[in-house]
Chain A
Amino acid sequence: MFLLKPTYTIEELLGRCRAGERKAQELLYNQLASKMLGVCMRYTNNRTEAEDMLQNGFIKVFKNINDYRGEGAFEGWVRRIMVHTSIEYYRKHYRIIQPMDIANAGIEPAVEATAITNLDVKDLMNVIQQLTPGYRMVFNLYAIEGYSHKEVAAMMGITEGTSKSQLSRARTILKELVTKMEGKTYGNAG
């Protein structure tokens, strides 16, 4: 004989969370925490920092849960909170002038489509985490979250031109890293 764990929909849990029920908050956290930590991990190269972002993000979620009016998916709302928490973390800890690597600027290596598609998500995480914080932020916001340069500029407190140039530089570095990684993979295989 085994016990079936009761399952709740997000809507049910939301209602109970709004009433401040701690158990419902925990169930909601358990449903979304792993995915949200996956988001936070892209914004830093440090697991502890990512968990700090996750913790602060969920505290905001529970404190402001009445602000969610049911417009759009709840998961999307939580994800946006995680992204904004990560930006706050970056602005607090890493916001320094990022000098451009002039020597390599404008030289964009070619990367084969198969090279990147063959890579595991953990490898992609590894290359993203090798970016400097500024490049990583812009690449995440524009390429993965889907914000426009105008939105990225507003969120980061930079100009649109800086957003564009940082994205371009981030892509160049990532392509270099992917190519190197693929060579290593093939080298190990061969």
Chain B
Amino acid sequence: MEMQDREFDKVFNSKFNEFEVTPSPGVWDGIVDELDKKPARRYIIPFLSIAASIIVLLGIGVLFLQQKTNKQQPVQKIAAKYRHEIIKQTDITPLALDQPGDKTTLNTHHTTTPAIKLVMPLPRESNTDSNIVKETIPVKADNQLVLIAAAPVVPAVVQPLDVPAPPKTLNIEQQKTTEKPIMIASVEQENAAPLKKRGIHNLGGLINIIVAKIDKREDKLIEFTDNDEDDGKSTVTGINLGIIKIKKQQ
């Protein structure tokens, strides 16, 4: 009797229904080995990525905190800083003031006179310098702040200046001794600022300008080269993530 397909399949199904083969003992050992393997390997990469994310987030957090504290720096602190510098500078002046005249008035006011000398010449110097561009404005503003902050001291200064003029040589000497250090300080600031405000030569230059708008720190979040020489290619020259700072030496 010829067999139908369905019956044929059924015979196989029923015969294999109770079919058993004893496995070798190694199979269970293999299962145990595999089950004992902790899935630690799987967690290595996620752990690293989580750690990296935390570092990046911390870096960004510190960066913004620094920006915030810079903005909120009180005027008094700036004033105190500049006053400290003034006092340092005035320590030099007595050497030049060793001239005939009213010694008592000079001694009483020699600490305050440079305060005016400090503030006034600076704008003149910066204005006369043809190389100075807009970046010098913050420098002026800072010096003006000194004026305001030092206001309680200034009235005492005005009087000695109206006193009969001391010999011309004294004036010249005094100016030299007081202004020179200030000039050096201001020139350093002015030289640093224009470097960052150049024209856009490539994509790096554009990014530098955008970053400079957001990040007001001296070392920017990221800085690129901005040269015409590199055929428009720009490379990273500095990264500042707050904690991590990398800067290529110029």
Our pick among A26, A59, A121 for the contact of B15 (Cβ within 8 Å) is A121
Q: Is the CB of B3 within 8 A of A124?
A: no
Our pick among B2, B7, B31 for the contact of A29 (Cβ within 8 Å) is B31
Contact A51:B12 (CB < 8 A) given known A22-B32, A25-B35: no
Whole-angstrom distance between the Cβ of B29 and the nearest chain A Cβ: 9
Tally of chain A residues near chain B (CB < 8 A): 37
Whole-angstrom distance between the Cβ of A169 and the nearest chain B Cβ: 12
Q: Is the CB of A125 within 8 A of B7?
A: no
Contact A113:B15 (CB < 8 A) given known A41-B21, A175-B8: no
Contact A143:B1 (CB < 8 A) given known A37-B21, A37-B23: no
CB-CB < 8 A to A63: which residues of B?
Answer: 35
Q: Is the CB of B13 within 8 A of A125?
A: no
Residues 89-126 of A at the B interface (beta carbon under 8 Å): 110-113, 116-117, 119, 121, 124-125
| Complex Cα spacing A111 to B23, Å | 34
Main secondary structure of the interface of A (DSSP, over half): helix
Q: Is the CB of B13 within 8 A of A144?
A: yes
Q: Chain B, interface size: which category? A: 20 to 34
Q: Is the CB of A34 within 8 A of B20?
A: yes
Q: Is A135 on the interface with B (CB-CB < 8 A)?
A: no
Whole-angstrom distance between the Cβ of A141 and the nearest chain B Cβ: 11
Q: Is A130 on the interface with B (CB-CB < 8 A)?
A: no
Q: Is B16 on the interface with A (CB-CB < 8 A)?
A: yes
Q: Is the CB of A59 within 8 A of B22?
A: no
| Complex Cα spacing A63 to B37, Å | 12
| Complex Cα spacing A55 to B25, Å | 11
Q: Is B34 on the interface with A (CB-CB < 8 A)?
A: yes
Q: Is B24 on the interface with A (CB-CB < 8 A)?
A: yes
CB-CB < 8 A to B35: which residues of A?
Answer: 22, 25, 59, 62-63
Q: Is the CB of B16 within 8 A of A121?
A: yes
Q: Is A54 on the interface with B (CB-CB < 8 A)?
A: yes
CB-CB < 8 A to A50: which residues of B?
Answer: 21
| Complex Cα spacing A29 to B23, Å | 11
CB-CB < 8 A to B47: which residues of A?
Answer: none
Our pick among A55, A113, A142 for the contact of B1 (Cβ within 8 Å) is A113
Whole-angstrom distance between the Cβ of B158 and the nearest chain A Cβ: 88
Q: Is the CB of A124 within 8 A of B23?
A: no
| Complex Cα spacing A184 to B9, Å | 22
| Complex Cα spacing A58 to B34, Å | 10
Contact flags (1/0) for A19-41 with B, using CB distance below 8 Å?
A: 00010011001000111011001
14 A-B pairs (CB sep. < 8 Å): A33-B22, A34-B23, A35-B19, A51-B24, A55-B30, A59-B35, A111-B3, A111-B8, A113-B1, A113-B7, A116-B8, A117-B11, A125-B19, A143-B12
A residues apposed to B, CB below 8 Å: 22, 25-26, 29, 33-35, 37-38, 41-42, 50-51, 54-55, 58-59, 62-63, 110-113, 116-117, 119, 121, 124-125, 128, 142-144, 146, 171, 174-175
Other than the given A111-B8, A112-B2, 10 more pairs (CB < 8 A) read A29-B28, A33-B28, A41-B21, A51-B27, A55-B31, A59-B34, A112-B1, A112-B3, A124-B11, A174-B8
B residues apposed to A, CB below 8 Å: 1-3, 5, 7-9, 11-13, 15-16, 19-24, 26-28, 30-32, 34-35
